[in-house]
Amino acid sequence: MTKKKQEDQKGQETEKLSEWQKRNKEYLEKKAQEEAEKEKELAEQKKQHLPNPEKLDAGEEDEKPEVTSDTQKAESEDLEESTSTEFSEEEQDKPLDKTDLRKKKKAERKQAKQNEKETREKIAPRHVYRALPVLILSSVLLILAVYFISPYSKLKNIEVTGNKQLSKTEVLEASSIQKEDYTLTTYLSQKAHAKNIKQSNLWAEKAEITYRFPITFKIKVTEYKVVAYDYSGEQYFPVLSSGEEIANPVTKSQLPKSYIRLDFSDKAMLKKFVRQLAGISDTIKSEIQTVQHTPSKATEDLLTLMMTDGNKIIVPLSEVAKKLPYYEKIKPQLTEASIVDMEAGIFSYRIS
């Protein structure tokens, strides 16, 4: 009964073992059997050579249990190793939990950073310094290329100030600034555009263009003043302080309360008179009502000036700036409407 129970227990243990453990056990048993056979053969060989077979048998009997015990130890160790190996394989097959995964990823990132740092440290500083100018130049060229390709390179905000007679559209047309022009080229051509405004329009005395980052251009225009009006064909044409006459006439309603009316058939003489008038005080200019070209036999460029106070001045065009200022000293001496003759010397007489 005891043997049967032991066999049943062995059978149950065998069933509990895995397929790999079964094969391992069979292998160990086979190996133990082979070793036992070898021992048996060795014992027989020794028995043949030994004179006392009884002692040899006794020695064999003593050695057999030792071999058996060693074999059992080896079998148990192999069994433990196989079991532990199987357990380790099973453990490897188990999926890692979230904590282990985080730790693993963290370790990988740390290792990657360390490798990257080591790679950077390996680059000598002198190589970096040599490459730096090339990198900077390449970056600048790339930025400029992207900028000029984009529509932002042509954005412009243009402000016009100081214009009274000229409209903003007229100033922009005179400047030759186009909508398609790049902001950079407009900035580089500021003086040229300002010169265009002055040269292409009679009203413009001076033009200045200033730039304010990022896209604003301010055009400041200084216009010539209107010093007189040329009366021709029952129309009034503005005459500017530059001596130029504007081709567009103005209506009577547009005329100021007090103004100088010019009556010149020769436009060159008109321009010369305006230039001479620039040296005259505003007090005298405000009293001039009309200016006519009235040549005499002796003086071809003789002018007749009618004043608002009723006095009349006769003066050569070439001597207006020189002699006309004396009128301020002569006027207080005149008690009635008089003619101040400045053609040859300066004297006055009553208008008859």
Enumerate domains of the chain plus CATH numbers.
Answer: 150-221 (3.10.20.310), 224-348 (3.40.50.10960)
Place of tokens 């057999």: 64
List the beta strands (DSSP E) in 172-319.
Answer: 204-212, 216-223, 226-232, 235-240, 261-263, 288-293, 302-307, 312-316
As given in the structure block, the two tokens for residue 133 are 């100018």
pLDDT, residue 2, reads: 55
pLDDT, residue 15, reads: 54
Whole-number CA gyration radius for the chain: 61
Residue 294 CB-half CA count within 13 A: 12
pLDDT, residue 13, reads: 53
| Cα gap 315→304, rounded to integer Å | 7
Do the beta carbons of residue 244 and residue 202 sit within 8 Å? yes
Do the beta carbons of residue 227 and residue 197 sit within 8 Å? no
Query: Which three-class secondary structure string do you get for 41-79?
Result: HHHHHHHHHCCCHHHHHHHHHHHHHHHHHHHHHHHHHHH
Residue 66 CB-half CA count within 13 A: 6
| Cα gap 352→350, rounded to integer Å | 6
Q: Which strand ranges, in their side-by-side order, compose the sheet holding 216-223?
A: 157-161, 216-223, 204-212
pLDDT, residue 102, reads: 78
Do the beta carbons of residue 264 and residue 293 sit within 8 Å? yes
pLDDT, residue 5, reads: 52
Divide the 352 residues of the chain into consecutive groups of 10 and give the mean pLDDT of each group. 53 61 80 84 74 45 43 49 46 55 80 72 67 88 87 92 93 93 93 94 94 94 94 89 91 89 89 90 92 90 93 93 92 90 89 77
| Cα gap 243→269, rounded to integer Å | 10
pLDDT, residue 335, reads: 87
pLDDT, residue 12, reads: 55
**What secondary structure does DSSP assign to 258-269, as a single string?**
S--EEE-S-HHH
Nearest Cα to 252, choosing from 237, 265, 264, 263?
Answer: 237
Place of tokens 């995964």: 101
